[in-house]
A and B are shown apart, each in its own frame.
Chain A
Amino acid sequence: MKSVIFRTVAPFLSSLMMLFSIFVLLRGHNEPGGGFIGGLIAVSALAIYGIANGVETVRRAILFHPMAIAGAGLLAATVAGLISLAAGVPFMTGLWIYPSALGVEIPLSTVMLFDTGVYLVVVGAISSVALSLEERGGE
Chain B
Amino acid sequence: MDIAVLTFLALGLPFVVALVAPALTRLLGHNAAWILALVPAAVFAHFLRFVPEVSNGEIVTGGYVWIPSFNVSFSWLIDGLSLTFVLLISGIGALIVLYSGGYLKGHPHQGRFFSFILMFMGSMQGLVASDSFLMLFVFWELTSITSFLLIGFDHGREAARRAALQALVVTGGGGLLLLAGLLILWNVSGITQFSLLLSFGSELKQSPFYLAVLLLVLGGAFTKSAQFPFHFWLPNAMEAPTPVSAYLHSATMVKAGVYLLMRLNPVLGGTPEWQILLPLFGVTTLVAGAALAVRQTDLKLMLAYTTMSSLGLLVMLTGLGEPYAIEAAALYLVAHALFKGALFMVAGIIDHETGSRNLTELGGLRSAMPLTFAIALGAALSMGGLPPFFGFLAKEEIYAALSAADLRSIVFAALAILGNALMFAVAFAIALNPFLGPKASTPLHPHEAPVQLWLGPAVLALKGLSLALMSGLAHRLISSPMASAIAGEPRSVEISLVPHIGAPLLLSVVTVAAGVGFYLSLARLRGAMATILADFGWGPDRGFDQFMRALVRSAVAVTRRFQSGRLDVYMTVTFILVAVVLLAIPFRYGEFPRAPFFAADVPLHELAIMIIAVAGLAAIMVAPDRLTAIVSLGVQGFAVAMIFLLYGAPDLSFTQFMIETLSVVVLALVMTRLRLSPSDHRPLRQKLPDLAIALACGLGFCLLLLRATGVPFNASLTEFFNQYSKSIAHGANVVNVIIVDFRGTDTLGEITVVMIAGLAILALVRLRAGALKRAAAGAEKVVDEQDVEERV
A contact set with B: CB distance below 8 Å: 28-37, 40-41, 43-44, 47, 51, 66-67, 70-71, 73-74, 77-78, 81, 91-92, 94, 96, 107, 109, 111, 114-115, 117-118, 121-122, 124-126, 128-130, 132-135, 137-139
Contact = CB atoms under 8 A, between A and B. Distances in A.
A37 B653 CA distance: 10
A81 B752 CA distance: 14
18 contacts: A29-B733, A32-B651, A36-B655, A43-B658, A44-B662, A47-B662, A66-B758, A67-B758, A67-B762, A70-B754, A81-B748, A92-B748, A114-B747, A115-B736, A128-B758, A129-B761, A132-B761, A133-B669
Contacts of B783: none
A40 B758 contact: no
B739 A122 contact: no
Nearest to A96: B730
B757 interface: yes
Interface centre among A33, A51, A66 (most CB of B within 10 A): A33
B751 A31 contact: no
Contact of B740 (A107, A111, A122): A111
Interface string B712-750: 000000000000000001111101110111001101100
Interface in B315-350: none
A77 B758 contact: no
A73 B773 CA distance: 32
A130 B739 contact: no
A37 B741 contact: no
B665 interface: yes
B768 interface: yes
A47 B665 contact: yes
A77 B747 CA distance: 9
B655 A77 contact: no
Contacts of A77: 747-748, 751
A138 B772 contact: yes
B371 interface: no
Contact of A30 (B732, B739, B755, B759): B732
B745 A115 contact: no
A34 B751 contact: no
A111 B770 CA distance: 41
Contact of A115 (B659, B661, B740, B773): B740
B670 interface: yes
Contacts of B752: 74
A117 B733 contact: no
Contact of A94 (B665, B741, B751): B741
B758 A129 contact: yes
Say what secondary structure dominates the interface of chain B.
helix
Contacts of B757: 125
Given A77-B751, A111-B731, 16 more contacts: A29-B730, A29-B732, A29-B733, A34-B736, A34-B739, A40-B662, A44-B661, A51-B665, A77-B748, A115-B740, A121-B754, A125-B754, A126-B758, A129-B666, A130-B669, A135-B769
Given A28-B736, A74-B751, A130-B666, A111 B741 contact: yes
B765 interface: yes
B542 interface: no
B673 interface: yes
Nearest to A35: B740
A107 B726 CA distance: 14
Contacts of B754: 70, 121-122, 125-126
Nearest to B731: A29
Given A114-B740, A118-B740, A128-B758, A32 B654 contact: yes
Contacts of A74: 751-752, 755
A129 B739 CA distance: 24
Nearest to B752: A74
A118 B731 CA distance: 17
Contact of A133 (B729, B765, B770): B765
Contacts of A94: 729-730, 741, 744
B553 interface: no
> Which 6 residue pairs of A and B lie closest in terms of their CB atoms, listed nearest first?
A138-B769, A125-B758, A40-B658, A32-B650, A29-B731, A133-B669
A25 to B, nearest CB: 10
B447 interface: no
A126 B762 CA distance: 10
B755 A133 contact: no
Contact of A91 (B651, B733, B745): B745
Contact of B737 (A29, A51, A122): A29
B221 to A, nearest CB: 46
A92 B772 contact: no
A41 B659 CA distance: 9
Contacts of A51: 665
B766 interface: yes
A121 B651 CA distance: 19
Interface string B657-693: 0110110011001100100000000000000000000
Contacts of A40: 655, 658-659, 662
A132 B755 contact: no
A43 B658 CA distance: 9
B658 to A, nearest CB: 4
B769 A137 contact: yes
A27 to B, nearest CB: 8
A131 B45 CA distance: 66
Given A29-B737, A139-B673, A121 B730 contact: no
Contact of A132 (B658, B729, B765): B765
Interface centre among A33, A34, A35, A115 (most CB of B within 10 A): A34
A37 B658 contact: yes
Nearest to A114: B740
B779 to A, nearest CB: 14
A29 B737 CA distance: 6
A70 B755 contact: yes
A37 B654 contact: yes
Interface string B106-120: 000000000000000
Contacts of A67: 758-759, 762
A34 B773 CA distance: 41
Contacts of A111: 729-731, 740-741, 744
Nearest to A42: B658
A81 B744 contact: yes
B550 to A, nearest CB: 41
Nearest to B757: A125
Contacts of B762: 67, 128-129, 132
A130 B655 contact: no
Contact of A36 (B661, B733, B739): B739
A94 to B, nearest CB: 5
A34 B733 contact: yes
A70 B759 CA distance: 10
B745 A81 contact: yes
A18 to B, nearest CB: 14
Contacts of A126: 662, 754, 758
A33 B666 contact: no
Contact of A118 (B651, B737, B751, B761): B751
A70 B761 CA distance: 14
A122 B751 contact: yes
A108 B780 CA distance: 59
B730 A133 contact: no
A111 B731 CA distance: 10
A34 B762 CA distance: 26
A32 B670 CA distance: 31
